[in-house]
Structure 1
Amino acid sequence: MLVIYLLNIEIMYIHKSQAEQKLINIINNQHTKQNARIGLIFNLAGLEEQHKNEEHFNIALNVLRDKLSTCVGDIVSFGDGDIFVICNNTNLQQIEEAIFQMRYLFVDDQLAYLSPGIANNNFCQMYDLQSDWSDFFARCEDKIIQAQNDNFAFNLSTEIESDIANLLTGCLENSLAEIDMESYTDNSPIWMHSDDDSFKMVIREIEISKNQIRNDLIHTLDFLNNPHLFKYLCDIVDIKLLIRLINEAQGEEGIGCLINISLSTLQSEEFELFDSAIAEVFKKNIIIAFNISEVLENIDEFMDIKNNLQNCGYKVCLNDIDYKIFLLIEAEIFGFDLIKLKFDKILIDQEQEKVLNLLYKKIESLNSTHLILTNCDTEAFALGKELGIYLFKGKFSEDE
């Protein structure tokens, strides 16, 4: 996905395509040449594969937007992760803070730090555009050429593309009709720990593994070259999950049901039918989880949907974020009822005392948002208790 944030004193423009064309327009604009002061290039395409994900890239863009709020200019983000920034005024403190926050977001990657405290210069380059414009311009040109080459593809006619799409979606429907969906379904309990050291299951998370279904069908369906197929698969699985939930939501007394479905499903006719089929009294038992990437992709749209869900009686949850993202976002502003926070073993390192203090203060500041610590083992459970968390998911007790 290509995303462009244009920073302006009065308005922010967001574009989601043709990053290379936008960069061409910016660097060839006479106004930019006259007013640009600082150029930044974040080489995030060089991150290790496990650290390349849409959630972190979206967080990175939001960090830059927030930290450079007074540095009027442009931020251009390419699909491979690379980010080009042009600031029209010089606020070195803000710029240095932005670079530090960006490094912190990817602190576990060698691209950010060669070793603890030793920054890797390949992570980011900063240019004084009053003296180094030609060097920055050359880097921009190289990126534009690379992006144009990456985007080159043989274009089929609209009619042929439509016929192929219909054929593939038909094959997908047939394949899904033949598989045992139950074998891809996981029911995971979420436990509440009480002061008397007892555990009580309060939420059951129901998840159908879309990625596993895709992996099992990939030998007959070309998901790699037809990305719309996976979206269609997700839509179908979401609907199957809603059908299942009609029964689950009216099941065990006092047990919530947590599901993760897409924003598009929540705006569909199928969800309207689901909503009408669920009695009002049971809606409070249903928790709908959102991935951070969906939240940040269109915040206004998300907030409208979230508010509508909560007004209808549902609860909303931010799904499986790591501690770095948790420290960066303003959870209370978004108004989540719950947040699933992934446990990371780095947090039990004695050298992470500063991070733990930040986490403790952040958790203490939450008023109406409850945390669920996930990926738990006994060490995670002990840490969670220390931080004031009382909801847990994982294997952390022999009595579980």
Structure 2
Amino acid sequence: MAQQPNLASQEYLLLDYAQRLDRHREGRRAVHVHLSRLKPQNRREHHIRIALNTLDDFVQTFEGQSFLLGNNDLIFVVKGASLQQLDEAVMRMRYLFSDDPLTQTDADSTDGHGRFATLYNVEGQYPKFMELCERVFEEERARQKRLQQMAEQTGETFEDSRRPLKPEQLGRLEEFLERSDLSSVFKRQAVSVVHKDNPPKPIFNELFISIFDLAKTVLPDVNLAANRWLFQHLTQTLDRRVLKMLARADDRSLHSSFSINVNVQTLLAPEFLEFDSSLRMGSRGTLVVELQLIDILSDYPSFVFARDFVREKGYRICLDGITPELTHFIDRNFMEIDLVKLSAGPVFDSGGSETLRKEVSEQVDRIGKGRIILSRCDNETMIRTGQNMGITMFQGRYLDAVYQQMSRSKNPPIPRAAKR
């Protein structure tokens, strides 16, 4: 039930967090600390780590969250902190870098903290804060794309700087998940039908917890997915914990159409039976179980058994996490699955390879246009490209933004794609 984004960057998590703040703005302030403007010798890894440690207690005291961006800038959001308390927190950070020219401007000037930090009143300046979050996300995505292209040009491997997950760290993270109240980070994202220029229409919600969002507070320097088998064990543990939580929850979304992303072994566990029996049989809508391809292939006989078992109970099966390059290998009829969730990679974006786009379009025809959900749609271009291939079901941040706009207006225009 853990969602596995292709790039769980801090920028991605920041934007997701900011979107969820839309209905919870009261009393919240944010600070953008421009550590990237420090001299290189003053923003080495140990400098940044000390700065984060200095801020930790303050952020936790005020029910906040902090995000260290790829360019070393720091953005933190707190609730209920006064301007004086924010000023004291920023001044403590300025003191750490007192030898740098960036901090030597007068903090009492009319510019506040000048080029060192920018303050946002989230309650009153939410659109401005969202614009910042969208911009840093797009800038980081462009930076990652440049680095990948440079690595391809030079024949080098573009590696993740985070360390792989170790067994002892897995135990620590599982203990943290066991203690945590997961309801506060439980998320929903609509899968929608989009016909031509008509507004999107939600058909079911995916219910999930972003395990990376949780883990970043415990193991921010660790790549959880680097060790596939340790990561799979972790997701199985999380699956069982979340199913127990859902089985005891009085959640109206469980009485309508929804999907859950789980491991094959989870479908055979007692927790799934308890969860299934807790659902109101009379009010069930479309129930979808999403499974990862690598999990299926690791024990295909168990998949076949689990597939037939949940189908008898009325669930539909969705193959999740399929990239455009993997579509050649997917035989939906042989696997007897109902849906395929295809990730919208660069081929669906502006500037994508026309040759690859044609190949993907052919595979979409073969798999079944009406059986594909195009996920991770970050902008309107990706949706239009999918529509041109005959795809009608979509999911992603762009549609989340559309629904937010629709909720604020009776007759909303379709919002523009995030700035590039």
Q: Is the Cα–Cα contact under 8 Å of residues 348 and 381 in structure 2 kept in the other structure?
A: no
Q: CA, structure 1 residues 217+349, in 2 after alignment: closer, same or farther (shift >3 Å)?
A: closer
Q: Give the equivalent residue in structure 2 for 1:311.
A: 312
Q: Give the equivalent residue in structure 1 for 2:176.
A: 175
- Would you say how many aligned residue pairs link Structure 1 and Structure 2? 248
Q: Give the equivalent residue in structure 2 for 1:194.
A: 195
The CA deviation at 1:307 is: 1.9
Please list every run of 5 or more consecutive structure 2 residues that lacks an aligned counterpart in the other structure.
1-5, 8-146, 158-166, 404-420
The CA deviation at 1:357 is: 2.7
The CA deviation at 1:258 is: 1.4
Q: Give the equivalent residue in structure 2 for 1:336.
A: 337
Identity of aligned residues (%): 20
Q: CA, structure 1 residues 182+173, in 2 after alignment: closer, same or farther (shift >3 Å)?
A: same
Q: Give the equivalent residue in structure 2 for 1:211.
A: 212
CA distance in 2, matches of 1:212, 1:177: 15
- The answer to whether the aligner puts 1:382 opposite 2:384 as a matched pair is yes
Q: Give the equivalent residue in structure 1 for 2:366.
A: 365
The 5-angstrom pairing of residues 106-255 of structure 1 reads 174-194=175-195, 197-218=198-219, 233-246=234-247, 251=252, 255=256
Q: Is the Cα–Cα contact under 8 Å of residues 374 and 393 in structure 1 kept in the other structure?
A: yes
The CA deviation at 1:229 is: 7.0
The CA deviation at 1:186 is: 2.3
Q: CA, structure 1 residues 321+228, in 2 after alignment: closer, same or farther (shift >3 Å)?
A: closer
CA distance in 2, matches of 1:322, 1:315: 21
Q: CA, structure 1 residues 326+284, in 2 after alignment: closer, same or farther (shift >3 Å)?
A: farther
What is the one-letter code of the residue matched to 1:352?
Answer: S
CA distance in 2, matches of 1:266, 1:284: 19
Please list every run of 5 or more consecutive structure 1 residues that lacks an aligned counterpart in the other structure.
1-48, 51-107, 124-163
CA distance in 2, matches of 1:226, 1:349: 33
Q: Give the equivalent residue in structure 2 for 1:320.
A: 321
Q: Give the equivalent residue in structure 2 for 1:262.
A: 263
Q: Is the Cα–Cα contact under 8 Å of residues 246 and 274 in structure 1 kept in the other structure?
A: yes
CA distance in 2, matches of 1:323, 1:191: 20
The CA deviation at 1:224 is: 10
The CA deviation at 1:205 is: 1.2
CA distance in 2, matches of 1:168, 1:352: 39
The 5-angstrom pairing of residues 280-295 of structure 1 reads 280-281=281-282, 285-295=286-296
Answer with 193-202 or 332-341: which moved more. Answer: 193-202
Q: CA, structure 1 residues 204+247, in 2 after alignment: closer, same or farther (shift >3 Å)?
A: farther
* Deviation by residue 1:99-140 (Cα, 9 ceiling, x = unmatched): xxxxxxxxx989x9869xxxx8x99xxxxxxxxxxxxxxxxx
CA distance in 2, matches of 1:341, 1:253: 25
The CA deviation at 1:265 is: 1.4
Q: Is the Cα–Cα contact under 8 Å of residues 265 and 302 in structure 2 kept in the other structure?
A: no
* Deviation by residue 1:78-117 (Cα, 9 ceiling, x = unmatched): xxxxxxxxxxxxxxxxxxxxxxxxxxxxxx989x9869xx
* Deviation by residue 1:308-337 (Cα, 9 ceiling, x = unmatched): 211211111111211110122212221222
Q: CA, structure 1 residues 370+250, in 2 after alignment: closer, same or farther (shift >3 Å)?
A: farther
The CA deviation at 1:294 is: 0.6
The CA deviation at 1:173 is: 6.0
Secondary structure in 2 matching 1:396: helix
CA distance in 2, matches of 1:236, 1:282: 29
Secondary structure in 2 matching 1:208: strand
The CA deviation at 1:196 is: 6.9
Q: CA, structure 1 residues 255+360, in 2 after alignment: closer, same or farther (shift >3 Å)?
A: farther
Q: Give the equivalent residue in structure 2 for 1:277.
A: 278
Secondary structure in 2 matching 1:240: helix
- Computed over aligned residues only, the root mean square deviation of the Cα atoms, in angstroms, reads 4.4
What is the one-letter code of the residue matched to 2:382?
Answer: A
Secondary structure in 2 matching 1:216: coil
Q: CA, structure 1 residues 246+368, in 2 after alignment: closer, same or farther (shift >3 Å)?
A: farther
The CA deviation at 1:223 is: 8.3
Q: Greater relative contact order: 1 or 2 (C-alpha under 8 angstroms, separation 6 or more)?
A: 2
CA distance in 2, matches of 1:175, 1:253: 26
* Deviation by residue 1:357-380 (Cα, 9 ceiling, x = unmatched): 332232223459611111211100
Q: Is the Cα–Cα contact under 8 Å of residues 193 and 203 in structure 2 kept in the other structure?
A: yes
Q: CA, structure 1 residues 270+356, in 2 after alignment: closer, same or farther (shift >3 Å)?
A: same
CA distance in 2, matches of 1:335, 1:248: 32
Q: Is the Cα–Cα contact under 8 Å of residues 187 and 207 in structure 2 kept in the other structure?
A: yes
The CA deviation at 1:210 is: 2.4
Q: Is the Cα–Cα contact under 8 Å of residues 369 and 392 in structure 2 kept in the other structure?
A: no
Answer with 186-195 or 173-182: which moved more. Answer: 173-182
Secondary structure in 2 matching 1:194: coil
Q: Give the equivalent residue in structure 1 for 2:394.
A: 392
CA distance in 2, matches of 1:202, 1:184: 23
Secondary structure in 2 matching 1:336: coil
CA distance in 1, matches of 2:192, 2:226: 41
- The answer to whether the aligner puts 1:353 opposite 2:354 as a matched pair is yes
The CA deviation at 1:222 is: 13
CA distance in 1, matches of 2:397, 2:369: 27
The CA deviation at 1:281 is: 4.3
What is the one-letter code of the residue matched to 1:359?
Answer: V
Secondary structure in 1 matching 2:190: strand
* Deviation by residue 1:149-200 (Cα, 9 ceiling, x = unmatched): xxxxxxxxxxxxxxx99x985x666533443323432221221113671321
TM-score by length of 1: 0.51
